[in-house]
Structure 1
């Protein structure tokens, strides 16, 4: 027979001792229950407590809600980071570009910013509306929190995709802006270095005893531009600062190059002064020889052969006198180191002497040519006939009949030559008319030859 265990409520059997809170905590910790739950259990055993126990479903809902909250927080942080990064790109574009496209981009970014604010407000309201750390959080409240936070996360994700699409279209504008910004600092530094090099070159020239007042004035005019460069692109704009830096660098380089060349320029002016003075003296001598040439032309040839040369002696004398006056002015400018004035005056002297040289030479050349044709006009005739026949052969090459466009001017050339030859008959032939006419005939023939060759070259 089996013995019956004593009843717990029997007065003869002592009651089993109740576990203490410390022992219960140690036991629960050994089996892995959370300390918070362990501390709550004795009150339940005691028959009363401060919170209801909902079991595993409530905690599962709380965990899902917390996961949704963490995901929404991650989406919010990702969107906020992307917006901050993109704002830097927008500021880069606006700092450089004020085009309509850039202004539209700023407006579109502001619109997306409003969408971001709306999605962020939805997220913040969802977080504030649900306290997931409450001890008495019910399962239904946790589920509502999870749904609201999930909706906020999804909205943040949609706005993030919209922001990404907007960012992907910024490539050309952003690339251009970054290129200009990358050019800005080196351009400003080149301008500063160029101004320094120009200043040093100017100092070196002055130390050698040469004045460079015009260069110094040009360099001083760049001072305000340097001030604006030092004030920076933030005050004056990136495109304007970049253009200013490049212009200052160019102008400073021009000043530096001219300053370094100034000693050579001074020596060149000195050489031209001597050379042109010598040439003026030589032309004075040659101009004195024109009158005897004219006398011989008057004595041996008709008026038409020399009448246009009557003014040469007087005009040559005037030109040489004017050139000598300009030479004196150029010398004074050189002594005052007014280099541009000296250079301009010397150019005037050279033009005067060139014109005088041509007119003086024309008298001697006229006499030589008239002597040659008077002695043997046949040489000029043969030379012109040969040019005509050569052109006629070219016009007939590969053809049975010539092209009228080529034949007519060549026939006219033959007629003109015959008429020129006829002017040599008589007691006082006009040799100068004969020479000018044969030369004109050869020029017209040369034009026909050039036309034929051009047409055939294009045809091939």
Structure 2
């Protein structure tokens, strides 16, 4: 629908819409006066106009002029309806283009198809209107009343058809509300999102420059920032080339990644200082554990001399394992120092974590030997303290099991009875010339764990009952 009525001398305007200068009819009183004066005077008045090449429209009765006026009014009304429909279609096309720029969902594709079908209806109504306009020249001097009446009828029908199509278009426009609102929301987000991405990249670049000025190379961060350059190029090319959803997603991703680079760049001086501190701390700890590991062998020697083999056999590997772990820790510390010098921060951090794990293992193994000797000394001197501790735990659990009951629940009584028997067997192992104190200690610990489990079950059941 391209023609726009009411614009003179435009090629797209139908022929009947081009303005013509009309000669007005002679008013009634003047006509009567000319009749009284007679023909000579009438001829004399008409003579100058005839010599000038002009003329007057043929005069018809009042009915013909009324029909012409009604047809002209119908033509004007149809032109207004045509213009209103054309304007609405142009506005709707902008809305459809907005939706298709953002949304590729089935609903959006269906809206495009429906708009195309509606466009066909608009074209049909427009052609009917244009044909009606072209078919009747209401400015003709010899326009008859019947022709004017037909023109009025056809133009009125064309106007009504244009109105019906306009109503269809309005209903379709109202139905686009949700799709259009979503599309406009995304378009409103587009420019701020792209600007945020640009600002994030600028902030990351400035942070990186500041870090480099302090003597840190930050090569890995520079590489990550450089990898975002093609994305910035695509953002600058715009959503028209890459699509609105894709551009929004790209802008948000660039913002996240650039922000991460900025944060890491700003933390880099602190990270370097932290790694330096950990290198010194772990090196000091490794030296201390080396000294402590040298005391394991004398501890094992005392264990061998005073206690049965079962009390210390599982610790025989500790000196060699500790020495090996110390060597590995020192090697990893050297690698971490090299990585720190090359400013490979991730590698340095990973190596320091490995060193810490090795040193923790050494600490546990070295402590285990000393702790073993301490506990065996205590139980050898006074085993009754361990026995009483375990019996108290059993009696406390038995009282809890009987609370509010005449007989204990077999599910609780059985494991508690087993705990009593197990403790008695452990105490019996202390008899003899070379008692296995370590077995005794591990058994009493196991008894206390089983009793604690029964206590936990009883409390959970009673809590659930309340």
TM-score range for the pair, normalised by the shorter chain length: 0.7 to 0.9
What is the deviation of 1:35?
Answer: 4.8
Partner residue, 1:180: 186
What is the deviation of 1:296?
Answer: 1.2
Query: Which string of whole-angstrom CA distances, capped at 9 and with x for unpartnered residues, describes residues 95-120 of structure 1?
Result: 11112221111111111111111111
Partner residue, 1:252: 258
Aligned equivalents of 1:96 and 1:70: distance in 2?
40
Aligned equivalents of 1:237 and 1:378: distance in 2?
82
SS in structure 2 at match of 1:121 = helix
Aligned residues: 426
Partner residue, 1:38: 27
What is the deviation of 1:66?
Answer: 2.4
Alignment check: 8 A CA contact 2:303 2:373 kept: yes
Map 1:276-425 → 2, pairs under 5 A: 276-425=282-431
SS in structure 1 at match of 2:26 = helix
Aligned equivalents of 1:130 and 1:347: distance in 2?
95
Query: Which string of whole-angstrom CA distances, capped at 9 and with x for unpartnered residues, describes residues 136-192 of structure 1?
Result: 332322222222222222222222222222222222222221121111111111111
| Cα distance change, pair 438–333 in 1 and its aligned pair in 2 (3 A) | same
Aligned equivalents of 2:174 and 2:267: distance in 1?
53
Aligned equivalents of 2:415 and 2:92: distance in 1?
77
User: Greater CA deviation, 391-400 or 278-287?
Assistant: 391-400
Partner residue, 2:225: 219
| Cα distance change, pair 210–299 in 1 and its aligned pair in 2 (3 A) | same
What is the deviation of 1:52?
Answer: 4.5
Aligned equivalents of 1:250 and 1:376: distance in 2?
65
| RMSD value, Cα | 2.3
- TM-score after normalising by structure 1: 0.87
User: Greater CA deviation, 165-174 or 260-269?
Assistant: 165-174
- Of the three residues 60, 79, 83, the one matched with 1:53 is 60
| Cα distance change, pair 161–402 in 1 and its aligned pair in 2 (3 A) | farther
Alignment check: 8 A CA contact 2:122 2:165 kept: yes
SS in structure 2 at match of 1:137 = coil
- TM-score after normalising by structure 2: 0.86
Structure 1 unaligned spans of 5+? 1-33
Partner residue, 2:281: 275
What is the deviation of 1:255?
Answer: 0.9
SS in structure 2 at match of 1:37 = coil
Map 1:5-84 → 2, pairs under 5 A: 35-38=24-27, 41=31, 45=35, 46=39, 51-55=58-62, 57-84=63-90
Alignment check: 8 A CA contact 2:132 2:154 kept: yes
Structure 2 unaligned spans of 5+? 1-22, 44-55
What is the deviation of 1:453?
Answer: 3.1
User: Greater CA deviation, 422-431 or 198-207?
Assistant: 422-431
